[in-house]
Structures are given as structure tokens and as C-alpha cells.
């Protein structure tokens, strides 16, 4: 037993002596695990640490200057916009009629700008039943000349032409799309012809020209759809921020015509209120022109 214990003690002494040598021999001869590379990395880390400490010391010694002065947004606007802005009392809400009249008066642009309505809704566009998308026929139009294209069988295309369509073709229309010719604002199609437009969805979709049943551009009654599009039928939908934007007409419209268009739009919007909405459907309403300041409108639409 004494001999065994003596041998074990001797083996432990040998290990203790060999350990430092073995630790030194762990470095590779070359590469990232070589002794030279490891030393270089440590030296670089120490240099970066010293550099960071020096920066901190310099920042502590250097006195902080004054915060940069940022002018209010209104002061960064043009002179005409600022003049128009001063004509509006931003502490009050206007009636729809007053707001439209004031928007026309405060139009800073030299051209006939569009009178726009921007309505924030209390909906969640990610919910299918709250993703509002529909159309409305403005009785006095929106001031834009709409070019209507119809993709339908030849007999329906002839009816569409008679109803006022600018382009009404069958297979010839697809050849135009193959060439990349898109010279229309609204595209109407029959349900049977929609599969043929499938491969053009990537071209038409981003431009908002792909026919859609919700927008009334996929229908069997082509004549009616063409007449409505020409008469001033516009589509509106809620965006990701739960806001609906729509053009109600131009500043050269009669005041009465603009008010009629606005009334028809808000009646249409109220009819779109989802059953799942328990609180306020309309959060806020603003009227503005293309380049003019916004005017808050009384919220009587809940």
C-alpha cells in the first residue's frame, strides 16, 4: 500500500511539472491559434480600450454647446402657404360648407387644385371586415377626365364603345399589355375574362388598375360600369394608418357642386361602418387643397 501511495504522489508531481509546458504547447505553429496572432489580437484590444478611454476623457473635458435651433415647420413653408395658414383659425372646427369655402379661398397654387377630404377612421385595416374598400359616384364628378378601357368579348366591347369607353378590345387588348402600353385610368372586365388578365397582375396591380369586384370593375353589366366611371365614379379605401383619402372636385367647381359631392361621399362612408366597430367610426375629418393647409371639420358622422 505504501508503495502504491508513493507511486501516485510521484505521478501527481510529474503532472504538476508538465502542466505549464503543455499549456505553452497549446499554441499552433501558424494561423489564428498561433502565439504570435493571439498576442497581436490582445495588443489590438488593449489599443482600442485605451482609445475609447481617451475619447471618454476628451468628451468629459469638452463643454457641451447649445442645442441647435430648429425653426417651426410653418416657418419653413413658402410665403403663400404661410399667408393661407394665417387665414384659418386652427383652434376651432368648421362646418363642412365653411371648410370647403375656406379651402378654395386658401388655395396657394396657381392651378385649379383638387379639394381633398382626409378622414381618420377607428378601424383596424388588418381585419378583413374592417378593411374598407368601395366606390362612390360623385354627382358632379371629380374634375378629372377618365380614360376607360374594357376587356370583354367582342359583342360586349361594342356596347362598351357605345356607352363611352375609350378602349374596348378583345384579344387585341392583351397584345397592347404585352408591349407595356397602359394608356387608361380605369380597366373594366367581365368575370369570364379575368383569368386571362392573371399574368398581368404584377403590372396592373401596383398601378391600381387591376379589375376588382369591390371596386365594381369586374361586372357583367359593362355598359353601366362604363357610364358610372365616366360620370365620376371613384374608388376609396382605408390605408395602413386607417385613413381614407378622396378628391371631391376642383377649386374651380361651384360651391354647391363641391358640397353635394362631399355629402354623397360621407353618406357612402357612413354606410360602410363595420358591425364589429363599437366605438367611434369616424375619428377626425380634414378638408384641404392639393398644396394648401388643412382645415378641421366638425365630426358629425358617427
| Exposure on the CB side of residue 52, measured as CA atoms within 13 A | 6
- Annotate 140-199 with DSSP letters as a single string: T--S--PPEEEE--HHHHHHHHHHT-SEEESHHHHHHHHTT----SEEEE-GGGHHHHGG
DSSP 67: P
* Residues contacting residue 135 through CB under 8 Å, at least 6 positions apart: 214, 215, 216, 228, 233, 234, 235, 236
* Residues contacting residue 149 through CB under 8 Å, at least 6 positions apart: 165, 166, 167, 168, 169, 173, 184, 186, 187, 188
The average pLDDT across 106-113 equals 92
- Condensed to tens digits (0 to 9), the pLDDT of residues 207-254 reads 888 998 888 889 989 999 898 888 878 889 999 999 999 999 999 999
Which pTM value belongs to this model? Answer: 0.68
Place of cell 511539472: 17
Helices (H) and strands (E) in the chain, counts: 10, 9
When pLDDT is cut at 50, 70 and 90, the band that residue 203 belongs to is confident
For residue 271, pLDDT over 80 is answered with: yes
The segment with the largest mean pLDDT, out of 11-15, 205-209, 284-288, is 284-288
- Condensed to tens digits (0 to 9), the pLDDT of residues 150-162 reads 988 888 888 888 8
For residue 30, pLDDT over 60 is answered with: yes
Please name which of 87, 88, 97 lies closest in space to residue 298, comparing C-alpha atoms.
97
d(CA 19, CA 245): 78
- Condensed to tens digits (0 to 9), the pLDDT of residues 55-89 reads 888 777 777 677 788 888 888 889 999 999 999 99
d(CA 54, CA 64): 17
pLDDT of residue 130: 92
Q: Are 210 and 201 spatial neighbours (Cβ–Cβ below 8 Å)?
A: yes
Amino acid at each position: 500500500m505504501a508503495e502504491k501511495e508513493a507511486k501516485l504522489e510521484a505521478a501527481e508531481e510529474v503532472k504538476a511539472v508538465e502542466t505549464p509546458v503543455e499549456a505553452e504547447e497549446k499554441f499552433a505553429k501558424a494561423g489564428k491559434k498561433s502565439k504570435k496572432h493571439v498576442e497581436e489580437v490582445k495588443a489590438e484590444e488593449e489599443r482600442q480600450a485605451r482609445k475609447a478611454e481617451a475619447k471618454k476623457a476628451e468628451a468629459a473635458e469638452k463643454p457641451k454647446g447649445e442645442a441647435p435651433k430648429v425653426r417651426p415647420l410653418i416657418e419653413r413653408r413658402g410665403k403663400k402657404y404661410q399667408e393661407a395658414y394665417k387665414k384659418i383659425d386652427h383652434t376651432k372646427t368648421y362646418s363642412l360648407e365653411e371648410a370647403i369655402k375656406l379651402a378654395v379661398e386658401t388655395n396657394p397654387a396657381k392651378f385649379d387644385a383638387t379639394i381633398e377630404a382626409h378622414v381618420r377612421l377607428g378601424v383596424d385595416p388588418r381585419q378583413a371586415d374592417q378593411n374598407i374598400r368601395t366606390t362612390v359616384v360623385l354627382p358632379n364628378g371629380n374634375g378629372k377626365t377618365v380614360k376607360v378601357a374594357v376587356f370583354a368579348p367582342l359583342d360586349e366591347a361594342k356596347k362598351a364603345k357605345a356607352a363611352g369607353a375609350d378602349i374596348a378590345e378583345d384579344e387585341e387588348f392583351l397584345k397592347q399589355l404585352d408591349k407595356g402600353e397602359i394608356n387608361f385610368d380605369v380597366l373594366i372586365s367581365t368575370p369570364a375574362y379575368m383569368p386571362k388578365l392573371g399574368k398581368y397582375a404584377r403590372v396592373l396591380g401596383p398601378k391600381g388598375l387591376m379589375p376588382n369586384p369591390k371596386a365594381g370593375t369586374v361586372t357583367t353589366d359593362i355598359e353601366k360600369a362604363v357610364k358610372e366611371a365616366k360620370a365620376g365614379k371613384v374608388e376609396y379605401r382605408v390605408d395602413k394608418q386607417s385613413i381614407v383619402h378622396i378628391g371631391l372636385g376642383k377649386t374651380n367647381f361651384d360651391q354647391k357642386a363641391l358640397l353635394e359631392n362631399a355629402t354623397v361621399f360621407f353618406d357612402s362612408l357612413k354606410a360602410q361602418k363595420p358591425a364589429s366597430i363599437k366605438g367611434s367610426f369616424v375619428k377626425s375629418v380634414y378638408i384641404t387643397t392639393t398644396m394648401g393647409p388643412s382645415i378641421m371639420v366638425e365630426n358629425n358622422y358617427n
